[in-house]
Structure 1
């Protein structure tokens, strides 16, 4: 108890890392971070593309069942009235617009006098953009029981190449009563004329003295109307904290508008600097100014005082060393001392878990976390504190804060200050499958965390594939959870989404993939050990710097509590998979380097290659297709032996050791060690 008391006192007194010893001693030096200074100046919206979306021309342009829908009012007061029950069990009104490929925002005003027989989060009235023939859609949240007009919006609704979008006003779930729709809109999202993204430094704008002193910025230019690319140039300006201009670079964008600019900051002393870009036209007329970045030049010795940070290879450092993240979601109740947590953590630690997220610990104050992390310490497990949806209108807002009307900024500030001195709390879980509408507030939250716990990381998991790019400067690590079992997506979708997230961050931020470890629905099943293996290595092959598993707790492994033998069997399968990953951690942390000169199944068998300094070579691979196949690999230098990691088998190389071949079941992953 004395140690806990000391830990609480230290944690509340500091805003950067103290390496806490049993005696509670430590040292601390202020750490300053940078990054994007303000939310990006985003897209603008074009005109309403719907045919008669304002209903001023009655029902022209709408296909509907007249027993369900009718026009009510006229002019500005016109609305589409839906009365249920009617001849259609799930009625909808579809607009005549055939929406071409692009990104769109859909919106409307809805009011209802309805009753539903399913949970409110599932049933009600909504609008939706359906993508045909891809059979995908974007929709607003259902509205139910709102007697006043309520605005609903869904941004970043994508119609992909080769598809056409259709707009509908509709109900979801069994609904009875009356609903009204008005001011229905579908608008193109028009990107700004200049988009910039800081590629390096890649962690909170921190440029350490022993790393590269050349900043890199991605530049994308889209000429405004009546302007050609040849008339434009981009100016990059570095200023000091007093606003004095220290350097200015100008570049002319290439024909496609995309390039990478470099800024040599080697001659500048330690301190804070602002990097601002401008799009200028003829006569240096300023056309557009995106949000600026702050770059902080710091001594390499600063890292010794940081409990967590991310290096230029997108690898997290925890406990003073590089780690490939093997994470687990869990759900436990509160305890005021470490002992009650130990049996569960002992069972979890059969797998080489090094990072945990626990939703159930989020509702207490920061001091509730200390006994939990103290119990984790002997197992070498670090912790991400959950602050996802810490907004007053959300159900996850802490009970103590809601009861005391504590504003969200104060909650996050107290939380981050309270946890800054806990060496095992390496960061914060800031959003769980959040739509982009929550991104601006999460960006603000990120600023508070950086201010009060600068030597940490933030992690968000997103499941809206069209929105990844909007989160890339809102968190330090972006995650994705492609739960494929029980869905219309093939297992290779795990690799596809991992690749898409890495593309959205230009490979300049870490990406961690959350692997399905639960039974999703009646059409699904609990993943087998082979499926866990294949999905994990798919993500790794595509470039994930960590894998998480959802979940050890409720709705996950704990659904098997009625059969403890089955529950343990399932976890033992995850233990086997994660031990295989952990055993290759040095390989996974090494930089990619070429091993093959040819792959007969290139494009179908996806590979990651590692030629290590000790002469050993590894080929990580998976079959992207749903068909069995045989692939032949030609090596850059001969081999005398090939073994398949985790499969207890070896493959004889071709004559002369020039290569080898192997078979793949659908979506199967193989990891080869080549000697």
Structure 2
């Protein structure tokens, strides 16, 4: 079964196929037994059995959830869902309605991440809502809940709720003609490979049977063929269970090197030369703004509002005038996604029109195909990735996720992976930046690009109830250093336009913006100056006591040492450089790093 079809079946999993169901009293046949929450009660209107949970909310200021803790373990994938019925469900925003969610917390009770699938609005008969969730490695408690989203009024019924752990299975991670097979336990596997030409005609087929204990690289060698663009479709099948996972990638034979590509160490190459993408998100695209961005040291810009009905050619032209590469967004062209534009045609046709019209822009760097969409959209994302590969072999696809536990699932649907921790104002430290970078680099497996998003925005820009709390220059620098230490091959700052959010509230201060931007620019220029060291791929991460992190980036007989403190307290850093390396004349270094302090030191052999 193709991966897309398998994923579609998984998302539609009915509760009766979920065994064992991790929930107690999922059909409310015992009233509210096992569920936490007040204000709702059992009802005889039911989807299955004789009861359901009914919740009526006439007050848009009231917000309640009905939940229970489930016995889920870190690393597990949970399929969850419920049947919902609604009457008069309405709210002021697009993010409204009734739905089901799952979320996790660490051992200290701090929120980690969650999945919140789109629910039902208005009047609706019984409808299934389902999604998947990968439990983070740091999770100590996982809860599933039912709710009306904030600001939603009306009546909702919930029934036949389910949550089940999916058993892990063998997976394949292709890298050109080589494919990494990983399996959760030793077993016999069959790996089949099918080579297709541009007309989707089968050119070659092979099948291998292997006993793999953990992980193994396999090589596919195509027969002698004329130069051209081909597709390699592969499938790994477990002999004991028959379960399958599939992938499909572009395989160029005798073709010119793409204009922009990801090399064997995960670096971006443009016209054959390595480039460290140092970009910034911005919906402001005037010449003054682009000039300011370029002068700050950035070499790339991502404007995710561009697309249908916009002057994309003008945006490319203005960006090019200021020496900026463009990461172009087609991230919203998915049925059912929050910002999908209205269309009478298909989203695939809209995406094809965008790609075909813009793929020859000389400063196009990558296609932005996903901004934090969950696993329920993965079949569409994978199809978009393959579509872009077929239409434009010269530019990679790029996506950003906010849940590191699911990174592996997205490997076969992109060329570049990134995550966006946004820790400032949400946590008292910056540890998540390093953690998420390490997880992103691990998931990229040295084959995909691994980039990171650095927070420069204030969370209050998206929630007026929060006090203003913009990241300081030290916090921006520490985030960036931690990402570089963790192995990021590119950085994107989020976001330039959010630095102006107070304009809409009548509280914008030009002097405050100028000071904040000067700090951001200082960090960006420093990173750009590091490029000769960042692009070698040669270096070593130092093992340190405590939370501080450090890495040496080597370039011949010189090197760059980066060190960062993710804590809101001063730490003393003691480290011994590898044999042969010195800072000035010293091999052993002791330094005091202030809260969120970050340093860079030159080293010599």
Relative to structure 1, is the Cα distance of residues 577 and 294 closer, same or farther in structure 2, using a 3 angstrom cutoff? closer
CA distance in 1 between counterparts of 2:171 and 2:561 reads 36
Is residue 485–residue 524 contact of structure 1 (8 Å, CA) maintained in 2? no
CA distance in 1 between counterparts of 2:501 and 2:533 reads 33
Is residue 557–residue 571 contact of structure 1 (8 Å, CA) maintained in 2? no
SS in 2 for 1:525: coil
Relative to structure 2, which stretch is displaced further, 182-191 or 150-159? Answer: 150-159
Pick one of 275, 279, 283 that aligns with 1:331. 283
Pick one of 14, 25, 30 that aligns with 1:58. 30
1:15-164 paired onto structure 2 within 5 Å: 39=4, 41=6, 46-47=18-19, 48-55=21-28, 57-59=29-31, 61-63=33-35, 68-73=40-45, 76=49, 78-84=51-57, 90-95=63-68, 98-101=71-74, 102-114=76-88, 119-121=93-95, 124=98, 126-129=100-103, 131=105, 133=107, 134-136=109-111, 137-141=114-118, 143-158=120-135, 160=137, 163-164=140-141
Pick one of 578, 592, 601 that aligns with 1:663. 592
Q: CA deviation at 1:556?
A: 3.0
Deviations 1:63-120 (A, max 9, x none): 456763123246535311223469x964444458555553312211222335666535
Pick one of 277, 283, 291 that aligns with 2:246. 291
CA distance in 1 between counterparts of 2:268 and 2:87 reads 52
Say whether 1:314 aligns with 2:266. Answer: yes
Say whether 1:446 aligns with 2:446. Answer: no
* Equivalent in the alignment of 1:188: 165
SS in 1 for 2:171: strand
1:567-578 paired onto structure 2 within 5 Å: 567-578=513-524
Relative to structure 1, is the Cα distance of residues 485 and 458 closer, same or farther in structure 2, using a 3 angstrom cutoff? same
CA distance in 2 between counterparts of 1:66 and 1:384 reads 47
Say whether 1:218 aligns with 2:180. Answer: yes
Pick one of 552, 571, 574 that aligns with 1:632. 574
* Equivalent in the alignment of 2:495: 551
Is residue 276–residue 490 contact of structure 2 (8 Å, CA) maintained in 1? yes
Unaligned runs of 5+ in 1: 1-36, 202-214, 224-228, 334-340, 643-652
Deviations 1:365-407 (A, max 9, x none): 6xx22222222223221112211111355564457xx3xx232
TM-score, normalising length: structure 2: 0.85
Q: CA deviation at 1:239?
A: 5.7
1:347-366 paired onto structure 2 within 5 Å: 347-364=292-309
Relative to structure 1, is the Cα distance of residues 132 and 551 closer, same or farther in structure 2, using a 3 angstrom cutoff? closer
Relative to structure 1, is the Cα distance of residues 671 and 94 closer, same or farther in structure 2, using a 3 angstrom cutoff? same
Higher RCO, Cα 8 Å, sep 6+? 1
Say whether 1:618 aligns with 2:560. Answer: yes
Relative to structure 1, is the Cα distance of residues 159 and 358 closer, same or farther in structure 2, using a 3 angstrom cutoff? closer
Unaligned runs of 5+ in 2: 461-465
Is residue 235–residue 280 contact of structure 1 (8 Å, CA) maintained in 2? no
Relative to structure 1, is the Cα distance of residues 89 and 98 closer, same or farther in structure 2, using a 3 angstrom cutoff? farther
Q: CA deviation at 1:478?
A: 1.2
CA distance in 2 between counterparts of 1:40 and 1:608 reads 43
Q: CA deviation at 1:603?
A: 5.9
CA distance in 1 between counterparts of 2:281 and 2:24 reads 47
Is residue 102–residue 142 contact of structure 2 (8 Å, CA) maintained in 1? no
* Equivalent in the alignment of 1:537: 481
Is residue 126–residue 172 contact of structure 1 (8 Å, CA) maintained in 2? no
* Equivalent in the alignment of 2:463: none
Is residue 86–residue 121 contact of structure 2 (8 Å, CA) maintained in 1? yes
CA distance in 2 between counterparts of 1:595 and 1:185 reads 43
* Equivalent in the alignment of 1:525: 469
CA distance in 1 between counterparts of 2:288 and 2:38 reads 63
* Equivalent in the alignment of 2:351: 412
1:223-302 paired onto structure 2 within 5 Å: 229=186, 232-235=188-191, 250-254=209-213, 258-263=214-219, 265=221, 272=230, 274=232, 276-279=234-237, 281=239, 287-294=242-249, 296-299=251-254, 302=256
Say whether 1:673 aligns with 2:602. Answer: yes
Deviations 1:256-302 (A, max 9, x none): xx212242749856564746454464xxx993443144562434x71
CA distance in 2 between counterparts of 1:115 and 1:293 reads 42
Pick one of 421, 439, 448 that aligns with 2:360. 421
CA distance in 2 between counterparts of 1:237 and 1:577 reads 47
Is residue 53–residue 183 contact of structure 1 (8 Å, CA) maintained in 2? yes
Relative to structure 1, is the Cα distance of residues 276 and 664 closer, same or farther in structure 2, using a 3 angstrom cutoff? same
CA distance in 2 between counterparts of 1:495 and 1:278 reads 33
Is residue 63–residue 149 contact of structure 2 (8 Å, CA) maintained in 1? yes
Relative to structure 1, is the Cα distance of residues 523 and 465 closer, same or farther in structure 2, using a 3 angstrom cutoff? farther
SS in 1 for 2:87: strand
SS in 1 for 2:122: coil
Q: CA deviation at 1:54?
A: 2.6
CA distance in 2 between counterparts of 1:362 and 1:515 reads 24
Relative to structure 1, is the Cα distance of residues 452 and 494 closer, same or farther in structure 2, using a 3 angstrom cutoff? same
Relative to structure 1, is the Cα distance of residues 523 and 247 closer, same or farther in structure 2, using a 3 angstrom cutoff? same
Relative to structure 1, is the Cα distance of residues 493 and 523 closer, same or farther in structure 2, using a 3 angstrom cutoff? farther
Is residue 622–residue 670 contact of structure 1 (8 Å, CA) maintained in 2? yes
SS in 1 for 2:437: helix
TM-score, normalising length: structure 1: 0.76
Relative to structure 1, is the Cα distance of residues 347 and 623 closer, same or farther in structure 2, using a 3 angstrom cutoff? closer
* Equivalent in the alignment of 1:342: 287
CA distance in 1 between counterparts of 2:206 and 2:165 reads 38
Relative to structure 1, is the Cα distance of residues 345 and 319 closer, same or farther in structure 2, using a 3 angstrom cutoff? farther
